[in-house]
Chain A
Amino acid sequence: MELKSNAPLIDAQHPIATAWERHRFNMKLVNPANKRKYSVIVVGTGLAGASAAATLAELGYNIKAFCFQDSPRRAHSIAAQGGINAAKDYPGDGDSVFRLFYDTVKGGDYRSREANVYRLAQLSLNIIDQAVGQGVPLAREYGGLLSNRSFGGAQVSRTFYARGQTGQQLLLGAYQALARQIEANKVEMHVRTEMMDLIVIDGRARGIVSRNLVTGALEAHIADAVVLASGGYGNVYFLSTNAMASNGSAAWRAYRRGALFANPCYTQIHPTCIPVHGEHQSKLTLMSESLRNDGRVWVPKKAEDCGKNPNTIPEEDRDYYLERKYPSFGNLVPRDVASRNAKMVCDEGRGVGATKLGVYLDFSDAINRLGKHVVEERYGNLFEMYERITDEDPYKTPMRIFPAVHYTMGGLWVDYNLQSNIPGLFVLGEANFSDHGANRLGASALMQGLADGYFVIPYTLGHYLATATVDKALPKIAEDHEAVVATLDEVKARVDQLMSIGGSRTPDSFHKELGKIMWEHVGMGRTEAGLKTALELIPKLRAEFYKDLKVVGAAESLNITLEKAARVADFLELAELMARDALNRAESCGGHFREESQTEEGEAKRDDEQFSYVAAWAFKGADEAPELHKEALTFDHVKLTQRSYK
């Protein structure tokens, strides 16, 4: 299969800066009076899904939106703390659309598509305007203008924020826009409803099968197009900063129906999380990376000091390893670099805390320099959260932090129009693979989710519908269409299977075991041998799951065990694809670190000759190996270099 990006022509006569504008002009439009004749399904109501559903409804399309939470306002975008990037250059410190584009391609370690990233940087401007127009209370200066701060991996201040709750405020903005359309009867909102499968008819995405999480009812929903904005799959590791119910099932089910899964091995491990404290731990808590602006990361120079009270360790016995190794970026190196270095010092036996899996993030210099009140004003809520969880006061004792799985750059393959290889299936936000390459920069997830939902899909979806209508490719589908009935039956059989295994182990016990395999072998440092081990262990665990799973209660009612079991079943398949992709990519890039491929200084070493491509995997059957398709990546505007943050 040839993968076409469908990006507009870019050459000397057709600059990248006008690509999106040209593309928008060339796309077909749907007549305003005809928009109400189309129906669109949107799965997920985070930043990407809520903004897409609201905007498409404003344009006049009929939307059915779905979320598994009890309200669209609770999608996990809400937990994003630090901020959102935009190339506004309000501080006048030399930022520009091109610089944001450049930083994002470089930060992604040259594994993203230039045309997409350029568009993202352009649209970042509109996002801030839109959010302020909606009443999102972004932080301001005393002059009344918007405030900016710098954020991990950037040397300009381009991050807009709302205290430590930027995701919450942006999501509430999108949710309120969605609420307005629900009130206007343009959006039919289905809460507590989970997508179980994709309905594909004549090669086009035409609907979904959902499960009502309260009644257990399985229902088919038919539409002219399907938009997936179902988030990432970081919970494959069991412990991550994702919400408890965040899952990969919607994307995985689309994959099993023929959508390509791109770069599944690209996982972001966030450097500043609260360390694991015990077996009962259910999730990991992120501390915003903005903490690295004022906190200094260190571990003791000598392993024997690691058990000591950190305040008694003199300055000369501390190793501020990020400042030592990366003098120009210091504590602000990108996430992958910061995480890997934390792992390295812990591997050397210099980790701190009871588990020895932690490093210090110390604010004593900042408190001495700025005063406690300034530190409190900047990070008060984070310090409080830390104290609540660990029972330690970070104003007095340095915080302990450790990396944790946070974001997945991989996802369903999409073209420039955010359309997957299945016509009519569009994928937005973290659920797609685009824009972040092999590593996402801080404050860029909110930017991408909203760019996709507010400013890309409204145009590209219209083009699809207009073109497909001309081609007479969207006939009316009856509810008893054989493909609809067959998909419903398959979902029902899957649910029945999970209910009837009658084994002895809970879904969580399998999930925890899978998480350990993944963290151990497909985590921060990956080796050929480790990945091969994972590829043996995962299918074994999956086989045991189908022999020994226990689910109690009924399928036709609210059943939290069944919900978990269905998600874990899909994680058990997705995990294998991640390991396979990681094994195939015998280079290091961004968040994917293959220990065989590193520079003499221990930095990630890319192999552009062999791996400058998007790895897009096609499902070939439950027990068959997936097929690898490659989309070559070319770089005409950003020079390929070995990333250096020295």
Chain B
Amino acid sequence: MKITLHVWRQSDAKDKGHFEKYVHPNVSPDSSFLEMLDEVNEDLLSQNKEPIAFDNDCREGICGACGMVINGAPHGPQRLTTTCQLHMRKFKDGDEVWIEPWRAKAFPVIRDLIVDRGAMDRIIEAGGYISINTQNAQDANALPIPKPVADKAMDAATCIGCGACVAACPNAAAMLFTSAKVSHLGLLPQGQPERARRVGNMVAQMEAEGFGGCTNHGDCAEACPKGIGLEFIARMNRDFFGAMLKSPDHIPARWKRR
């Protein structure tokens, strides 16, 4: 099938960027979206042009590296699917496809479709862990955890950190991402000692990175390739206000002044 692409090209963070048009005359419906881009890139190379830069690695939908806005939707038209798992049979012969990077203040463009998502790592660094040193653990079965609790924690922990939630949000908020980690750890008994501190620090970092606030649009959950639900945002908000009341020491100064 024939596909016409309009791809965002931007040589570096300072460049203004623009769309360029490429036509792929012969796309196999069995190829993945990224395999289609591989072919476009091989063609560009043969014309001595620089290929389109995009992040990708595992191509199994789990590493979270890939991600681009395809026809206005992060990761494209198929629900619960990362860009790498999207296949060309979801498009029609003659389709025009617009491809852009994640757009958010906290995700500066590095080149073409590659953005810097370091802000998400810094949110985790602010508290997205349980402080236990290696060699300090008790026997794994000494702490029974009800299956529904473990399952719910796992639901949250499946987040792949791709940033589609941020790209989808009109406020470029990172609430879904942050709440997934806050909930994964906050649900488990191991995560209780640091629960208040964790949510306070992670929310503070999220704001410091320039992510917007949540205004309940729900576009994030719609775009999430792993089906992380809005319930986790509600849970994070509860944790946050609970911490504000019970352990105000753990809440960033900006919130205390109010």
Interface set of A (CB-CB < 8 Å, partner B): 51, 54-55, 58, 69-74, 76, 78-79, 88, 90, 126, 128-135, 137-146, 162-163, 165, 168-169, 172, 175-177, 179-180, 182-183, 189, 191, 214, 243-245, 277-278, 280-283, 285-286, 385, 388-389, 391, 454-455, 458, 504, 506, 508-509, 550, 552-553, 557-561
Q: Are B53 and A146 in contact (CB under 8 A)?
A: no
Q: Are B65 and A134 in contact (CB under 8 A)?
A: no
CB-nearest residue of chain B relative to A504?
B46
Interface set of B (CB-CB < 8 Å, partner A): 11-12, 28, 30-32, 34-36, 38-39, 42, 45-46, 48-51, 53, 55-65, 78, 81, 85, 87, 89, 110-111, 114, 116-118, 120-121, 124-126, 128-141, 143-147, 150-151, 153-154, 157-158, 160-161, 184-185, 188, 190-191
**A contact residues around B143 at 8 Å (CB):** 132
Q: Are A282 and B161 in contact (CB under 8 A)?
A: no
Q: Are B35 and A79 in contact (CB under 8 A)?
A: no
**A contact residues around B153 at 8 Å (CB):** 135, 137
Q: Which residue of B12, B34, B45, B138 contacts A282 across the interface (Cβ within 8 Å)?
A: B34
CB-nearest residue of chain B relative to A86?
B140
List 23 A-B pairs, Cβ < 8 Å: A58-B133, A70-B117, A74-B58, A79-B63, A88-B140, A90-B141, A128-B140, A129-B138, A132-B190, A137-B150, A139-B150, A144-B146, A168-B160, A278-B30, A280-B35, A280-B38, A282-B38, A286-B60, A389-B87, A458-B134, A552-B50, A558-B111, A561-B50
CB-nearest residue of chain A relative to B117?
A70
The 3 closest A-B pairs by CB, nearest first: A144-B144, A133-B137, A176-B129
Q: Which residue of A76, A180, A561 contacts B51 across the interface (Cβ within 8 Å)?
A: A561
**A contact residues around B59 at 8 Å (CB):** 243-244, 282-283, 285
12 further interface pairs, Cβ-Cβ under 8 Å (given A126-B135, A243-B63, A385-B85): A71-B117, A73-B121, A129-B137, A133-B140, A162-B154, A168-B62, A169-B154, A177-B129, A180-B131, A278-B30, A506-B45, A560-B51
Q: Are A552 and B137 in contact (CB under 8 A)?
A: no
**B contact residues around A557 at 8 Å (CB):** 11-12, 111
Q: Are B129 and A144 in contact (CB under 8 A)?
A: no
**B contact residues around A132 at 8 Å (CB):** 137, 140, 143, 190
CB-nearest residue of chain B relative to A286?
B60
Q: How far is the CA of A137 from the CA of B130 in the complex (A)?
A: 13
Q: How far is the CA of A455 from the CA of B137 in the complex (A)?
A: 13
**A contact residues around B147 at 8 Å (CB):** 140-142, 144
**A contact residues around B34 at 8 Å (CB):** 282
Q: Which residue of A51, A69, A162, A559 contacts B57 across the interface (Cβ within 8 Å)?
A: A69
Q: Which residue of A128, A163, A179 contacts B129 across the interface (Cβ within 8 Å)?
A: A179
Q: Are A129 and B140 in contact (CB under 8 A)?
A: yes
**A contact residues around B55 at 8 Å (CB):** 70
- What distance in Å separates the Cβ of B146 from its nearest Cβ neighbour in chain A? 5
* Overall SS of chain B's interface: loop
Q: How far is the CA of A455 from the CA of B201 in the complex (A)?
A: 30
Q: Are B134 and A130 in contact (CB under 8 A)?
A: yes
Q: Are A130 and B38 in contact (CB under 8 A)?
A: no
- What distance in Å separates the Cβ of A376 from its nearest Cβ neighbour in chain B? 15
Q: Are A144 and B145 in contact (CB under 8 A)?
A: yes
**A contact residues around B128 at 8 Å (CB):** 176, 179
Q: Are B129 and A391 in contact (CB under 8 A)?
A: no
- What distance in Å separates the Cβ of A415 from its nearest Cβ neighbour in chain B? 22
- Inter-chain residue pair count (beta carbon < 8 A): 223
- What distance in Å separates the Cβ of B237 from its nearest Cβ neighbour in chain A? 21
Given contacts A71-B117, A280-B31, contact A78 B144 (CB under 8 A): no
CB-nearest residue of chain B relative to A168?
B62
Q: Are A281 and B157 in contact (CB under 8 A)?
A: no
**A contact residues around B138 at 8 Å (CB):** 129, 133
- For B78, B124, B134, B157, the residue with the greatest tally of chain A CB atoms inside 10 Å of its CB is B134
CB-nearest residue of chain B relative to A282?
B35
Given contacts A135-B188, A244-B59, A282-B35, contact A163 B12 (CB under 8 A): no
Q: How far is the CA of A182 from the CA of B122 in the complex (A)?
A: 9
**B contact residues around A177 at 8 Å (CB):** 129, 132, 134
Q: Are A388 and B120 in contact (CB under 8 A)?
A: no
Q: Are B185 and A135 in contact (CB under 8 A)?
A: yes
CB-nearest residue of chain A relative to B31?
A280
Q: Are A183 and B137 in contact (CB under 8 A)?
A: no
**B contact residues around A550 at 8 Å (CB):** 45, 48
Q: Are A76 and B58 in contact (CB under 8 A)?
A: yes
- For B11, B55, B129, B185, the residue with the greatest tally of chain A CB atoms inside 10 Å of its CB is B129
**B contact residues around A389 at 8 Å (CB):** 32, 85, 87
Q: How far is the CA of A58 from the CA of B126 in the complex (A)?
A: 17
CB-nearest residue of chain B relative to A242?
B58
**B contact residues around A90 at 8 Å (CB):** 141
**B contact residues around A144 at 8 Å (CB):** 144-147, 150
CB-nearest residue of chain B relative to A164?
B62
CB-nearest residue of chain A relative to B112?
A558
Q: How far is the CA of A286 from the CA of B62 in the complex (A)?
A: 12
Q: How far is the CA of A287 from the CA of B5 in the complex (A)?
A: 32
**B contact residues around A385 at 8 Å (CB):** 60-61, 85
Q: Are A388 and B60 in contact (CB under 8 A)?
A: no
Q: How far is the CA of A283 from the CA of B59 in the complex (A)?
A: 8
CB-nearest residue of chain B relative to A390?
B30
Q: Are A285 and B60 in contact (CB under 8 A)?
A: yes
**B contact residues around A508 at 8 Å (CB):** 38, 42
Given contacts A133-B136, A134-B190, A135-B130, contact A278 B62 (CB under 8 A): no
Q: Are A165 and B120 in contact (CB under 8 A)?
A: no
Q: Are A74 and B63 in contact (CB under 8 A)?
A: yes
Q: Are A133 and B154 in contact (CB under 8 A)?
A: no
- For B63, B131, B188, the residue with the greatest tally of chain A CB atoms inside 10 Å of its CB is B63
**A contact residues around B116 at 8 Å (CB):** 70
Q: Are B42 and A506 in contact (CB under 8 A)?
A: yes
Given contacts A69-B57, A137-B153, A169-B157, contact A282 B32 (CB under 8 A): yes
**A contact residues around B63 at 8 Å (CB):** 69, 74, 76, 78-79, 243
Q: Which residue of A165, A191, A243, A504 contacts B158 across the interface (Cβ within 8 Å)?
A: A165
Q: How far is the CA of A169 from the CA of B62 in the complex (A)?
A: 11
- What distance in Å separates the Cβ of A613 from its nearest Cβ neighbour in chain B? 34
- What distance in Å separates the Cβ of A389 from its nearest Cβ neighbour in chain B? 7
**B contact residues around A458 at 8 Å (CB):** 134
**A contact residues around B125 at 8 Å (CB):** 179-180, 182-183
- What distance in Å separates the Cβ of B49 from its nearest Cβ neighbour in chain A? 7
Q: How far is the CA of A552 from the CA of B124 in the complex (A)?
A: 37
Q: How far is the CA of A78 from the CA of B64 in the complex (A)?
A: 10
CB-nearest residue of chain A relative to B47?
A552
Q: Are B65 and A69 in contact (CB under 8 A)?
A: yes
Q: How far is the CA of A217 from the CA of B60 in the complex (A)?
A: 31
Q: How far is the CA of A72 from the CA of B204 in the complex (A)?
A: 22
CB-nearest residue of chain A relative to B154?
A137
- What distance in Å separates the Cβ of A279 from its nearest Cβ neighbour in chain B? 9
Given contacts A58-B133, A69-B63, contact A191 B118 (CB under 8 A): yes
Q: Are A73 and B64 in contact (CB under 8 A)?
A: yes
Q: Are B42 and A553 in contact (CB under 8 A)?
A: no
Q: How far is the CA of A162 from the CA of B65 in the complex (A)?
A: 21
Q: How far is the CA of A283 from the CA of B58 in the complex (A)?
A: 9
**B contact residues around A131 at 8 Å (CB):** 140
- What distance in Å separates the Cβ of A131 from its nearest Cβ neighbour in chain B? 8
- What distance in Å separates the Cβ of B72 from its nearest Cβ neighbour in chain A? 21
- What distance in Å separates the Cβ of A515 from its nearest Cβ neighbour in chain B? 14
Q: How far is the CA of A282 from the CA of B191 in the complex (A)?
A: 40
Q: How far is the CA of A391 from the CA of B156 in the complex (A)?
A: 28
**B contact residues around A137 at 8 Å (CB):** 150, 153-154, 157, 184, 188
CB-nearest residue of chain A relative to B114?
A558
Q: Are B57 and A243 in contact (CB under 8 A)?
A: yes
- What distance in Å separates the Cβ of B70 from its nearest Cβ neighbour in chain A? 16
- For B56, B121, B126, B184, the residue with the greatest tally of chain A CB atoms inside 10 Å of its CB is B121
- What distance in Å separates the Cβ of A204 from its nearest Cβ neighbour in chain B? 26
**B contact residues around A278 at 8 Å (CB):** 28, 30-31
Q: Which residue of B61, B124, B136, B150 contacts A179 across the interface (Cβ within 8 Å)?
A: B124
Q: Are A58 and B134 in contact (CB under 8 A)?
A: yes
